[in-house]
């Protein structure tokens, strides 16, 4: 796949989700390998995204791969629920996590249950979602996405 002039490898193991947001049986090692690949793809897009993943990793005492995978799951849900103009804005604020790339890697996550399943597959307690969202919202606020916060708060709660 070509994106912004760069070739991005999309591993098949990242197709964790069906269109309904349910998770297929997959072992933790495969999920973590997939998240590692996702981290590499995101890192190609922005140093800011790298800083976001590093912040999540250090603040929540999780691996960078878990930070990337959890962010991707939350972003996939937001992309599914937001109007197209807001979804485009969100994709531009957290490069590499929106639109074609996220949906090709994760499929459609259309419910919080899909996000919870993704967190579980990444070896994180689904309760950590409530720890991710303030960090993501703070990042968005600092980077020009303040108008998205009310809608995201509803989607991610």
Question: What are the tens digits of pLDDT across the range 86-100?
Answer: 998 998 888 766 555
Per residue, the 3-state secondary structure of the chain, as one string, reads CEECCEECCCCHHHCCECCCCCECCCCHHHHHHHHHHHHHHHHCCCHHHHHHHHHHHHHHCCCHHHHHHHHHHHHHHHHHHCCHHHHHHHHHHCCCCCHHHHHHHHCCCCCHHHHHHHHHHCCCCHHHHHHHHHHHHHHHHHCCCHHHHHHHHHHHC
For the stretch 43-75, pLDDT in tens is: 444 566 788 989 999 999 999 989 988 998 999
pTM higher than the cut 0.85: no
């Amino acid at each position: 796949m070509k994106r912004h002039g760069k070739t991005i490898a999309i591993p098949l193991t990242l197709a964790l989700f069906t269109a309904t947001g349910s998770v297929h049986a997959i072992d933790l090692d495969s999920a973590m390998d997939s998240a590692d690949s996702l981290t590499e793809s995101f890192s190609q897009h922005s140093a800011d995204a790298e800083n976001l993943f590093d912040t999540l990793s250090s603040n929540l005492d999780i691996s960078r791969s878990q930070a990337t995978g959890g962010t991707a799951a939350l972003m996939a849900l937001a992309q599914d629920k937001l109007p197209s103009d807001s979804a485009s804005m969100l994709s531009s604020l957290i490069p590499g996590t929106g639109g074609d790339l996220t949906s090709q890697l994760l499929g459609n996550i259309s419910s919080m249950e899909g996000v919870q399943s993704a967190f579980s597959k990444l070896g994180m307690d689904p309760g950590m979602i409530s720890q991710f969202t303030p960090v993501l919202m703070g990042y968005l606020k600092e980077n020009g996405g303040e108008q998205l916060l009310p809608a995201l708060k509803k989607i991610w709660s």
